């Protein structure tokens, strides 16, 4: 059983959702506000309980959103009225392509990160975007915080900016790299990348 299933009914009550991950969600909303998404569609990969989808519904209701979540947390997202598919990134299949794929704080848990980027590209419309945000270990504080996080989650690999560039560039052009800084969370970096038009 996935450790994430254990959080089905408690995840939104954890401080990490309300405090630690809020700066990332705000940064994603800011980025999306300035982008023109093909077909105005968005896929939230590994959406958890759907808190980013909640924010998008409130702040950018014109974007048609869908979430993907492999764990039982998807039931909490679906109960709020979001369209949710049960899948993980390794097995995700859809005939639909999206104007933007967003992946916040889930990327370090993907076992094959290059394959994940390739799959994202397959499901991104030409001229569409990929937004990835996750923590990094830039300081001793980051290292200690992420060790604590790993105690309550699954195995993770937090790629550095140089590695993210290597992973993204075969498929996307990086448009923006945003440092998300808040004293109470580890260093977080958000990458906004665009897929070339045909």
Give me the CATH number covering residue 60: 3.40.50.150
Q: E strands, 7-95, where?
A: 41-45, 64-68, 84-85
Q: How far is CA 81 from its chain centroid?
A: 20
Containing structural domain, residue 61: 3-194
List per-residue pLDDT tens for the chain, 198 residues long: 354 444 445 555 555 555 667 889 999 999 999 999 999 999 999 998 899 999 999 999 999 999 999 988 888 899 999 999 999 998 898 889 999 999 998 999 899 999 999 999 999 999 999 999 988 766 655 555 555 555 445 577 888 899 999 999 999 999 999 988 765 566 789 999 999 875
Q: What is the pTM of this model?
A: 0.84
**b/e per residue 160-179 (b: at least 16 CB within 10 A):** eeeebeebbeebbeeeeebe
Question: How many domains does the chain fold into?
Answer: 1
């Amino acid at each position: 059983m996935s450790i994430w299933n254990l959080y089905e009914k408690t995840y939104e009550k954890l401080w990490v959702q309300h405090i630690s991950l809020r700066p990332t969600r705000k940064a994603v909303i800011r980025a999306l506000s300035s982008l023109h998404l093909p077909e105005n569609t968005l896929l939230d990969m590994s959406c958890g309980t759907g808190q980013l989808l909640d924010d998008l519904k409130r702040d950018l209701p014109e974007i048609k959103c869908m979430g993907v979540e492999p764990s039982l947390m998807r039931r909490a997202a679906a109960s709020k009225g979001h369209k949710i598919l049960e899948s993980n990134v390794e097995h995700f299949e859809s005939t639909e392509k999206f104007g933007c794929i967003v992946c916040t704080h889930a990327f370090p848990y993907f076992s094959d990160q290059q394959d994940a980027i390739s799959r994202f590209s397959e499901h991104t419309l030409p001229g569409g975007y990929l937004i990835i945000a996750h923590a990094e270990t830039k300081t001793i504080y980051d290292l200690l915080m992420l060790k604590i996080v790993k105690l309550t989650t699954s195995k993770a690999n937090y790629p550095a900016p140089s590695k993210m560039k290597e992973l993204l560039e075969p498929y996307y052009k990086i448009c923006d790299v945003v440092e998300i800084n808040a004293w109470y969370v580890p260093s977080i970096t958000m990458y906004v990348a665009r897929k070339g038009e045909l």
